[in-house]
Chain A
Amino acid sequence: MNEEAFRAFFTANFGDVWAFIRRRVATDEDADDVTADVFAVAWRRREDLPSGAERMWLFRTGYNVLANFRRGVERQRQLHLRIVSVDPPEVGYEAVADVDQELWSALAALSGSDRELLLMQAWDGLEVAEIAAVLQVSAPTVSSRLYKARDRLQRELHRRDRQGRGNVQGESHGKGSTRR
């Protein structure tokens, strides 16, 4: 792939990759930096890009670059960043609309892998096979895990409905803990 072809490749995929990254970092500037790193990997490996599967390759590379990025960034994040972190620390709800608090709270109570699967589907719009390509696991595995993750989210929401929002906001479940 020559320089001209790479520029076309960049233009065709930039928006999707930037959005994928932006959902997982704190600021537009962070998204710019991480996206540049993803395409830097693509540039130096431009002869090895899988023909016909470049987009998923970029997402998978973005997923890996984000893992490195997270190692080095202060974890003072907005709520949605806490949620998608692999190992989220405490989360706060000060900036979250009331109508969304219950869902965020339920999401925070799930495991990191459950959250990632659900948000890849809901936010990134990835199909099962595409999620499998990004995570490098089999599609049946993703399908099964996704079903269970949805089920756990649903049960968590129902549990919160039963107990009443006011009684559960201060509890801690799994890796995510909540506080007001």
Chain B
Amino acid sequence: MNGEEEIERLRRLNPIVRSAPPAPGSPRFNAILEKSMSQTSTLNSLADQAPPRRRKRWTVVAGIATAGVAAAVVAAVALAGGPDGRPAPGTGPVDAGSVLLAAAERTEQVSSLRFSQPPQGGGAFSAEGEVSGANSRIVSKGEGVTETTIVIGSDRYVTAADGTTKKETIPDDQKLAPFARAAGDLTRAASQDRNVAVVGTEDVRGVKTTHYRLTLPARTSAADPASPVTELPATELAWFELENVDSYSAPVQVDIWVADNLVRRISGTVQNQDPLTTVEFYDFNAPISITAPAGR
């Protein structure tokens, strides 16, 4: 069984058969070339777009990934005082960077927590999750459908609304980093960026927090400095739908709310668009046990 016959059948469905690319030298060809070289992008002008679909994100949530080398480098830079001369924690005035760094270090030490993704977008996608180490249980809702995803090690159990459960082995390239570590590394990376600022004081789930905002300008040249956030592995950024953050043609805001040296909320937004995602954290180090669905 090699499937060659099916591949050949698929070839005949190729949509490109009915659409040819603009000929070299044609007005459309030249317009695309000039647009490319003038850095004009369409991606930052889609103000009326639908929000990203959340279900896929939560369904690919997975177990342990290898430690992000880039994140480790960022951490090392942080402890050495930072590339922009910012003083190391405890040696200078308390600024946004040092507060975020402290929050990063405490948050990534959390062994368990719960998180919530409030409803967003036309499909009202939302999720409630609990995490214990690298294991997780997430109930996602959207477009009237509820789905539960449990990840234990490399096993993923997806229970649909009708109660049927499907067990899968998570491919290596779909495994995400443990949630707390991802949140910690993102916060640490933000702490090292000179574009982070205090927005104000806000309430998150009944806790008074300080709201910080990192604005990542769209890079227009390879010579432009990359934010430490963009150096994080996709296995961490994917939790917050920021894995392609470096390829947006519009500025991206990463908002982080902190209280008691713990990250309480993270939100990412591409300028002029709906939020990519918003995730709130609570019940830090609560006794949480993630188990496989009954009968599994």
Chain A interface (Cβ within 8 Å of chain B)?
A: 3, 6-7, 10-11, 14-15, 18-19, 22-23, 28, 31-48, 61, 64-65, 67-75, 78, 80, 86-87, 89, 100, 103-104, 107, 112-113, 118-119, 121-123, 135-137, 141, 145, 147, 150-151, 153-154, 157, 175
Contact = CB atoms under 8 A, between A and B. Distances in A.
Main secondary structure of the interface of B (DSSP, over half): loop
A37 B249 contact: yes
Contact of B3 (A42, A47, A100, A150): A150
Contact of B1 (A19, A100, A151): A151
Contact of A45 (B13, B53, B222, B276): B222
Interface stretch (B15-23, B89-97, B280-288): B15-23
B173 A137 contact: yes
Contacts of A33: 42
Q: Which of A64, A72, A74, A78 has the most CB of B within 10 A?
A: A72
Given A10-B33, A34-B42, A43-B37, A71 B16 contact: no
Chain B, interface size category, equals 35 or more
B261 interface: no
A166 B50 CA distance: 34
A73 B42 CA distance: 11
Interface string B143-160: 100000000000000000
Nearest to B11: A122
Nearest to B162: A172
A141 B24 contact: no
Contact of B46 (A10, A72, A86, A145): A72
Given A33-B42, A40-B249, A80-B15, A71 B29 contact: no
B180 to A, nearest CB: 26
B66 interface: no
Nearest to B39: A40
B201 interface: no
Given A80-B13, A150-B3, A44 B32 contact: no
22 contacts: A10-B36, A14-B29, A18-B32, A23-B15, A32-B32, A37-B249, A41-B247, A45-B222, A64-B247, A65-B43, A68-B43, A68-B244, A68-B247, A71-B52, A71-B273, A80-B13, A87-B56, A118-B7, A121-B7, A123-B10, A136-B173, A137-B172
Given A10-B33, A122-B11, A72 B50 contact: yes
B25 to A, nearest CB: 9
Contacts of B21: 14-15, 18-19, 22, 31
Contacts of B28: 32
A40 B35 contact: yes
Contacts of A137: 172-173
A3 B38 CA distance: 12
Contact of A123 (B11, B31, B41, B56): B11
Main secondary structure of the interface of A (DSSP, over half): helix
Given A33-B42, A86-B56, A87-B56, 5 more contacts: A18-B21, A47-B222, A71-B273, A72-B43, A145-B171
Contacts of B39: 40, 43-44
B66 to A, nearest CB: 14
A35 B3 contact: no
Contacts of B6: 103, 118, 150, 153-154, 157
A93 to B, nearest CB: 13
Nearest to B36: A39
A32 B22 contact: yes
A44 B39 CA distance: 8
A160 B10 CA distance: 16
Contacts of A118: 6-7, 10
A39 B271 CA distance: 22
A112 to B, nearest CB: 7
A23 B14 contact: yes
Nearest to B9: A103
A46 B37 CA distance: 11
B32 A39 contact: yes
B117 to A, nearest CB: 16
